């Protein structure tokens, strides 16, 4: 008879919200730090980031990030901050949509439709019908690349996502009602253990290393894959 797997809350018993268990962090919306926009036009909430480790060239500053994932509220129209050397993927998670003008080219951006553009470009934002909230993924060119896709989670079938060699996987709950199960260490008898957490709206799981994440429920998630440059 197969042994039952034990299920524990991911990070159970730890108190800082950025909870780690076997390469899995649970990141809570209520605990994301607020960071002012570069142009001081608003505030973004930082979900996760990885700092640069060494310069590519003598003239390149070490300060900054290889990649950053954040969520921003945009309630006024106007120019975006300039980020030379940064590639960006923006995804509306709330609101009726906006139009970005990137180096003179107008690009409608619909809800849950990831849009990639260069942080070097002169970019202006026009709101279609009031404030929006966006998921913003930035990667430093030559350091890392990002791929963002929106995935449905249905009650009828478990959705499984996994890391591939060396990448960082982040899964953000665009809606509530999502439960994530992560691999854990075997127990003393050698049977596989598991760790489980319920995700609220805009909570996120960061996963590095072997073993898939299993997503259950009825809603939508954003899958973010960060691949370091080699």
What would the pLDDT profile of 45-91 be if each residue is shown by its tens digit?
999 999 765 444 444 443 478 999 999 998 888 899 889 999 999 99
Better-predicted residue by pLDDT, 41 or 88: 88
Query: Alpha-carbon distance 65 to 228, whole Å?
Result: 12
32, 53, 54, 94, 166 from 227: Cα distances, Å: 23, 15, 17, 27, 7
Q: What is the pLDDT of residue 24?
A: 81
Q: What is the pLDDT of residue 38?
A: 73
Q: What is the pLDDT of residues 90-136, one digit of tens each?
A: 999 999 899 999 999 999 999 999 999 999 999 999 998 888 999 99
In this predicted structure, the answer to whether residue 6 has a pLDDT above a threshold of 90 is no
Query: Alpha-carbon distance 20 to 222, whole Å?
Result: 20
Rounded to 5°, the CA angle 181-185-186 comes to 110
Q: What is the pLDDT of residues 138-176, one digit of tens each?
A: 999 999 999 999 999 998 889 999 988 789 999 999 999
Q: What is the pLDDT of residue 184?
A: 59
Question: Predicted confidence band at 193 (pLDDT cuts at 50, 70, 90)?
Answer: low
Instruction: List 101's β-bridge partners, or say none.
Output: 106, 124
Mean pLDDT across the chain: 82
């Amino acid at each position: 008879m197969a042994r039952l797997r034990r299920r524990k809350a991911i990070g159970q018993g730890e108190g800082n919200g950025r909870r780690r268990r076997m390469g899995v962090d649970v990141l809570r919306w209520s605990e994301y730090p607020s960071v002012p926009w570069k142009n001081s036009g608003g505030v973004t909430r930082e979900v996760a980031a990885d700092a640069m480790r060494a310069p590519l060239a003598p003239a390149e500053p070490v300060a900054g990030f290889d990649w950053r994932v954040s969520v921003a509220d945009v309630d006024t129209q106007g120019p975006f901050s300039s980020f030379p050397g940064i590639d960006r993927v923006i995804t509306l998670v709330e609101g009726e949509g906006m139009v970005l003008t990137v180096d003179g080219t107008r690009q409608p951006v619909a809800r849950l439709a990831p849009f990639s553009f260069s942080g070097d470009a002169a970019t202006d934002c026009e709101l279609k019908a009031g404030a929006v909230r966006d998921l913003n993924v930035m990667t430093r060119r030559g350091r890392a690349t990002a791929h963002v896709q929106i995935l449905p989670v249905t009650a009828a079938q478990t959705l499984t996502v996994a890391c591939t060699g060396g990448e960082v996987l982040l899964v953000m709950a665009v809606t509530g009602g999502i439960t994530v199960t992560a691999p854990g260490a075997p127990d003393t008898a050698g049977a596989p253990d598991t760790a489980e957490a319920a995700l609220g709206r805009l909570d996120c799981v960061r996963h590095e290393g072997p073993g898939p994440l299993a997503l259950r429920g009825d809603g939508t998630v954003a899958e973010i894959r960060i691949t370091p440059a080699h």
